[in-house]
A and B are shown apart, each in its own frame.
Chain A
């Protein structure tokens, strides 16, 4: 039995029965990583000896972590040169929770530098490949997490989602990606990209694993003022209930220009299927959708420009060696440490917050953000969930969009709104294009109602075979 190919809930069953032990799973994972990852480049920090040591002492499941989540005394670099060698002195809250439940930390996954991107090409460790087509990108920014799960180098992984960074790579790699409600999972220890949008979430092989992992990582945290003081239901108990009578909105704005025809066909068929399962699917309008990308790239870059200012060479990470004085040190360190996309976003965000421009850009963007949120509030008065494509296109070729940031930014056009509104979203596999590239279906829900979207996702998944397909590596 190839344990690396199983899901967490399957493995949990085997572990509980005593058929296998944690070291067996880890060995299987280690084998897969050593065999495939040289080509895939999904894992960036990995220590075989440590993993074996931990696995021997554990009765839990192995998990990979995106490289922007702090693990005490382990490399945590956001795949940026500027954090070269950085080992945080503390564990993120999600890591503490995983360790408490006896999970085995396997290593860190590749990502776009500071999560800035939709292709994992801006990593200082080089791009991750899409396991379905090694010439293509896996999506991003949690491309490493999505690819390692899709390639059975992992059972599951944590990612982070600021504008689609979990859902889009999940869609492009054919796995399940869940972005919880803003405030559901503590951000303490997640190296911030855009604080008002960032949320840690899961990349798993099926919906049941997403529910299982969500339960472990969520909950109020006194260390994060933005984490919500709401109880954590055990979603895995309810997701298997049927979806008869649920009302589902299909936003017309998500099916217009720019949507790949294969993707469109897959998604429309999936909606039909959901209808056959007993849910009522109706058209809905989210009129401010067209502003989402513009609003996002102002708010996200503004916050990022401030969040990334601390990487100045003073306390940790890279410090330029040839600097003469403090200002010179700042300039050289940041010039050498940040990649092009990070620099682009810092400049954009700095500009948007500058005096004289603040009102026209940042303040205006905040106002439109509330309108986008209101669109969803209005829709959720009538509907229990909203279903859309996750990404307008399947995985594109490596290098195809790196010279064209605007096209790259449009990769997130369907996922960004959920972050702006703070609502939960999940992407589930819903078919393949003619070129055999996975397509994802996005299900969005009310704040703190992960249960409903997971229930729809689970019912759909169980009625199809898409989640069982694995790339031929």
Chain B
């Protein structure tokens, strides 16, 4: 396996978040009853003509700029001709000879190192309808027909399934930042096909590639690529040859298989779309788009590191989700120790969200609740341990932690008399551990601290407990 090198390129299809379709005024809303968002244009009726939705073009340009691409000023479209029942005109209006933009790149962070993945091209096209097969009929829903799609094609710059996964994550993060798409793989607003080949290390020519389709999550992409790369290496290793073909990923079995229908090699007969004359993408529109660009994850990560003193890793995790980054910054304006905020967000809060399938903007935790709780820890009102359960309580009830502490009497016991009593008892009950400590096992003291904490239901101030325990144990010695 290590004798081989994997070469991966990805094609991402992205539904753009416009109100209306790319060549007509029909709504793009998801989930409407079949064939209710249709008109002669998106049904491809004879005599109908396309008119470009400039909003789709703007979102496309925004994406291109975010991916460091050069945006063309002259916009052209081509027809891609092929027969399929979900394609009502029997051609798709797309961009072939001159895409919206080319020559960009995307930065990923792999093993703590930055790597540039080239973007070959970004172009605008229209989506097709959707087929449904019942036992005795095939049905077509044209609601999706004409939805603006952006195709983002990467260079074959990824050399492992992990890198492909990171590319998709980074891409999704950027797309969410610039708010051009819902990026929902289950609803189909983001789709991904992968091209993969392998070659012996040191060989310059690319190996024969296969195209993998039918992956419905980033994890599935990774799993499919892992399977496919291994299959190719094994095939070549045992003297076989790779056939250039399209393969479908079966997520249930974790394998890729050749498409069952005989995939004829298509000649799409591209030619310039005569119904849309080329036009100049006016410079002022492009300037507007540039001015509307928000801070992107890359620059934000660097700013988080310098402004808040975060580590590269912490900053990368926080900026990967725009809502999370925004939440962090709000907290940081209320509480001075940014590192502690980052730890809570990335630790307990993320764990909770993961467990409950939530995103931070859906989480019921006001930023001032989190920072208020952190203040209480600092002032010794509550212990860090109490804070962990208090956090969950606050999320679940939506109540201010300060209020909860008062209601439930969770303030730390700092009263020496109360702690002393507990320490006394613990020493009496745990003579063996005490013996260990006396015979030189310094760590044994921590076991005793734990016992005291249990006895005080976690409310004792741990620092005080350690202090008192040490004093008492020295006395014992």
Which among A37-45, A277-285, A288-296, A307-315 touches the partner chain? A307-315
Closest to B39 in A: A90
B271: Cβ under 8 A from any A Cβ: yes
B112: Cβ under 8 A from any A Cβ: no
Residues in B neighbouring A309, C-beta threshold 8 A? 81, 83, 89-91
Residues in A neighbouring B267, C-beta threshold 8 A? 354-355
Kindly identify which residue among A223, A326, A350 contacts B51, using a CB–CB cutoff of 8 Å: A223
Instruction: Say whether A306 contacts B85, CB under 8 Å.
Output: no
Kindly identify which residue among B43, B45, B50, B138 contacts A225, using a CB–CB cutoff of 8 Å: B50
Kindly identify which residue among A188, A226, A306, A353 contacts B47, using a CB–CB cutoff of 8 Å: A188
Which among B117-125, B273-281, B451-459 touches the partner chain? B273-281
Residues in B neighbouring A106, C-beta threshold 8 A? none
B235: Cβ under 8 A from any A Cβ: no
Instruction: Say whether A310 contacts B269, CB under 8 Å.
Output: no
Distance A357 CA – B89 CA, assembled complex (angstroms): 23
Instruction: Say whether A191 contacts B46, CB under 8 Å.
Output: yes
User: Could you tell me the distance in whole angstroms from the C-beta of B263 to the nearest C-beta in chain A?
Assistant: 13
Residues in A neighbouring B47, C-beta threshold 8 A? 69-70, 76, 88, 92, 187-192
A303: Cβ under 8 A from any B Cβ: yes
Residues in A neighbouring B79, C-beta threshold 8 A? 306
User: Could you tell me the distance in whole angstroms from the C-beta of A321 to the nearest C-beta in chain B?
Assistant: 15
Closest to B79 in A: A306
Which chain B residues in 274-308 approach chain A with CB under 8 Å? 274-277
Instruction: Say whether A353 contacts B40, CB under 8 Å.
Output: no
Residues in B neighbouring A314, C-beta threshold 8 A? 85, 88, 140
Distance A194 CA – B140 CA, assembled complex (angstroms): 28
Distance A88 CA – B52 CA, assembled complex (angstroms): 23
Closest to B44 in A: A310
Instruction: Say whether A306 contacts B81, CB under 8 Å.
Output: yes
B49: Cβ under 8 A from any A Cβ: yes
Closest to B276 in A: A225
A222: Cβ under 8 A from any B Cβ: yes
User: Could you tell me the distance in whole angstroms from the C-beta of A273 to the nearest C-beta in chain B?
Assistant: 39
Distance A305 CA – B267 CA, assembled complex (angstroms): 14
A86: Cβ under 8 A from any B Cβ: yes
Residues in B neighbouring A88, C-beta threshold 8 A? 40, 45-47
B397: Cβ under 8 A from any A Cβ: no
Please report the total number of B residues contacting A with Cβ < 8 Å. 29
Residues in A neighbouring B52, C-beta threshold 8 A? 225
User: Could you tell me the distance in whole angstroms from the C-beta of B274 to the nearest C-beta in chain A?
Assistant: 4
Can you list, as one digit per residue, whether each of B242-276 has a CB less than 8 Å from chain A (1) or not (0)? 00000000000000000000000001011100111
Distance A227 CA – B48 CA, assembled complex (angstroms): 13
Grouping DSSP codes into helix (H, G, I), strand (E, B) and loop, the B interface class, with mixed when no group exceeds half, is loop
Distance A312 CA – B46 CA, assembled complex (angstroms): 12
Residues in B neighbouring A7, C-beta threshold 8 A? none
Distance A222 CA – B52 CA, assembled complex (angstroms): 10
Kindly identify which residue among B46, B91, B140 contacts A70, using a CB–CB cutoff of 8 Å: B46
Residues in B neighbouring A350, C-beta threshold 8 A? 269
Distance A290 CA – B85 CA, assembled complex (angstroms): 42
Instruction: Say whether A326 contacts B85, CB under 8 Å.
Output: yes
A400: Cβ under 8 A from any B Cβ: no
User: Could you tell me the distance in whole angstroms from the C-beta of B281 to the nearest C-beta in chain A?
Assistant: 15
Q: A223-B51, A225-B52 are in contact. Are A306 and B46 (CB under 8 A)?
A: no
User: Could you tell me the distance in whole angstroms from the C-beta of A227 to the nearest C-beta in chain B?
Assistant: 9
User: Could you tell me the distance in whole angstroms from the C-beta of B422 to the nearest C-beta in chain A?
Assistant: 79
Residues in A neighbouring B271, C-beta threshold 8 A? 302-303, 306, 353, 358, 362
Q: A195-B275, A196-B274 are in contact. Are A224 and B49 (CB under 8 A)?
A: yes
Distance A225 CA – B48 CA, assembled complex (angstroms): 11
Can you list, as one digit per residue, whether each of A77-116 has a CB less than 8 Å from chain B (1) or not (0)? 0100001001011101000000000000000000000000
Instruction: Say whether A89 contacts B274, CB under 8 Å.
Output: no
Grouping DSSP codes into helix (H, G, I), strand (E, B) and loop, the A interface class, with mixed when no group exceeds half, is loop
Distance A223 CA – B51 CA, assembled complex (angstroms): 6
Residues in B neighbouring A222, C-beta threshold 8 A? 51
A330: Cβ under 8 A from any B Cβ: yes
Closest to A226 in B: B277
Residues in B neighbouring A78, C-beta threshold 8 A? 46
Instruction: Say whether A312 contacts B269, CB under 8 Å.
Output: no
Residues in B neighbouring A310, C-beta threshold 8 A? 44, 46, 88-90
Residues in A neighbouring B83, C-beta threshold 8 A? 309, 312, 327, 330
Residues in B neighbouring A225, C-beta threshold 8 A? 49-52, 275-277
Instruction: Say whether B51 contacts A315, CB under 8 Å.
Output: no
Closest to B279 in A: A225
Distance A69 CA – B89 CA, assembled complex (angstroms): 18
User: Could you tell me the distance in whole angstroms from the C-beta of A348 to the nearest C-beta in chain B?
Assistant: 13
Residues in B neighbouring A330, C-beta threshold 8 A? 83
Kindly identify which residue among A83, A189, A226, A315 contacts B275, using a CB–CB cutoff of 8 Å: A226
Distance A226 CA – B277 CA, assembled complex (angstroms): 6
Distance A456 CA – B198 CA, assembled complex (angstroms): 72
Residues in B neighbouring A192, C-beta threshold 8 A? 46-47, 275
User: Could you tell me the distance in whole angstroms from the C-beta of B309 to the nearest C-beta in chain A?
Assistant: 54
Residues in A neighbouring B50, C-beta threshold 8 A? 225
Distance A358 CA – B96 CA, assembled complex (angstroms): 14
Can you list, as one digit per residue, whether each of B130-154 has a CB less than 8 Å from chain A (1) or not (0)? 0000000010100000000000000
Distance A376 CA – B50 CA, assembled complex (angstroms): 30
Q: A306-B81, A312-B90 are in contact. Are A83 and B46 (CB under 8 A)?
A: yes
Closest to A221 in B: B49
Q: A309-B90, A315-B43 are in contact. Are A188 and B277 (CB under 8 A)?
A: no
Instruction: Say whether A355 contacts B85, CB under 8 Å.
Output: no
Kindly identify which residue among B40, B51, B81 contacts A89, using a CB–CB cutoff of 8 Å: B40
Distance A224 CA – B50 CA, assembled complex (angstroms): 7
User: Could you tell me the distance in whole angstroms from the C-beta of B69 to the nearest C-beta in chain A?
Assistant: 25
Residues in A neighbouring B277, C-beta threshold 8 A? 225-226
Can you list, as one digit per residue, whether each of B17-57 has a CB less than 8 Å from chain A (1) or not (0)? 00000000000000000000000100111111111100000
Residues in A neighbouring B274, C-beta threshold 8 A? 194-196, 226, 303
Distance A355 CA – B265 CA, assembled complex (angstroms): 12
User: Could you tell me the distance in whole angstroms from the C-beta of B54 to the nearest C-beta in chain A?
Assistant: 12
Residues in A neighbouring B46, C-beta threshold 8 A? 70, 76, 78, 83, 86, 88, 191-192, 310-311
Kindly identify which residue among A194, A305, A315 contacts B88, using a CB–CB cutoff of 8 Å: A315
Q: Which residue of B40, B48, B267, B269 has the most chain A CB atoms within 10 A of its CB atom?
A: B269
Residues in A neighbouring B48, C-beta threshold 8 A? 90, 188-189
Residues in B neighbouring A89, C-beta threshold 8 A? 40, 45
Distance A236 CA – B130 CA, assembled complex (angstroms): 51
Q: Which residue of B43, B45, B47 has the most chain A CB atoms within 10 A of its CB atom?
A: B47
Q: A225-B276, A330-B83, A350-B269 are in contact. Are A187 and B45 (CB under 8 A)?
A: no
Instruction: Say whether A306 contacts B269, CB under 8 Å.
Output: yes
Distance A315 CA – B267 CA, assembled complex (angstroms): 24
User: Could you tell me the distance in whole angstroms from the C-beta of A247 to the nearest C-beta in chain B?
Assistant: 31
Instruction: Say whether B269 contacts A188, CB under 8 Å.
Output: no
Residues in A neighbouring B138, C-beta threshold 8 A? 326
Residues in B neighbouring A354, C-beta threshold 8 A? 267, 269
Residues in B neighbouring A196, C-beta threshold 8 A? 274
Which chain B residues in 81-102 approach chain A with CB under 8 Å? 81, 83, 85, 88-91
Closest to B269 in A: A353
Closest to B264 in A: A327
Closest to B268 in A: A355
Can you list, as one digit per residue, whether each of A206-236 has a CB less than 8 Å from chain B (1) or not (0)? 0000000000000000111110000000000
Q: A225-B49, A309-B89 are in contact. List 15 more A-B contacts (CB 8 A).
A: A69-B47, A189-B48, A226-B49, A226-B275, A302-B271, A305-B269, A309-B90, A310-B90, A312-B83, A312-B90, A315-B43, A353-B271, A354-B269, A355-B267, A358-B271
Q: Give the B-binding residues of A (Cβ under 8 A).
A: 69-70, 76, 78, 83, 86, 88-90, 92, 187-192, 194-196, 222-226, 302-303, 305-306, 309-312, 314-316, 326-327, 330, 350, 353-355, 358, 362
A-B contact pairs, 9 of them (CB 8 A): A78-B46, A89-B45, A90-B48, A187-B47, A188-B47, A224-B49, A306-B271, A309-B89, A315-B88
Q: Which 3 pairs between the two chains have the least Cβ-Cβ distance?
A: A309-B90, A195-B274, A353-B269
